[in-house]
């Protein structure tokens, strides 16, 4: 399904965390950080236990040059992923957090 069809679904009351994750992912893949963040924030608002949404929210925030917000999203998502046993997301977000820490130590951010 294309982005416009998904956006129409969200606008007509068929909203869900999965729908917002899908829209956010499309924007993220297009390099559009602002709209990606908007939809991924809505995904975690609709389902705070959606670890994949937290992971992608962090990526979108980093793309939008918001490393502190990305770090916080990944820390929040890590708590969710650990609680839910989503070990793949735990591993990925742990790597992302280590990269931010290394960047900070080098003075990049």
> For residue 66, how many C-alpha atoms fall within 13 Å in the half-sphere facing its CB?
14
Q: What CATH code would you report for 3-106? A: 1.25.40.10
pLDDT-based confidence at residue 108 (cuts at 50, 70, 90): low
Q: Tens digits of per-residue pLDDT, 28-68?
A: 999 999 999 999 999 999 999 999 999 999 999 999 999 99
Spatial separation of the C-alpha atoms in residues 59 and 73, rounded to whole Å: 9
Type and span of the H or E element at 4: helix 3-11
Task: Say yes or no to pLDDT of 1 above 80.
Answer: no
| All structural domains of the chain with their residue ranges | 3-106
Q: Tens digits of per-residue pLDDT, 15-24?
A: 999 999 999 9
Q: Tens digits of per-residue pLDDT, 58-68?
A: 999 999 999 99
At residue 29, the pLDDT reads 97
Spatial separation of the C-alpha atoms in residues 66 and 19, rounded to whole Å: 24
């Amino acid at each position: 399904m294309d982005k416009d069809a998904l956006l129409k679904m969200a606008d007509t009351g068929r909203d869900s965390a999965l729908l917002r994750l899908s829209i956010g992912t499309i924007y993220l893949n297009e390099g559009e950080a602002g709209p990606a963040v908007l939809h991924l924030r809505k995904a975690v608002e609709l389902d705070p236990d959606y670890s994949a949404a937290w992971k992608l929210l962090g990526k979108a925030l980093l793309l939008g040059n918001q490393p502190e917000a990305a770090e916080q999203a990944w820390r929040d998502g890590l708590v969710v992923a650990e609680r839910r046993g989503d070990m793949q997301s735990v591993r990925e977000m742990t790597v992302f957090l280590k990269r931010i820490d290394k960047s900070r130590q080098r003075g990049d951010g």
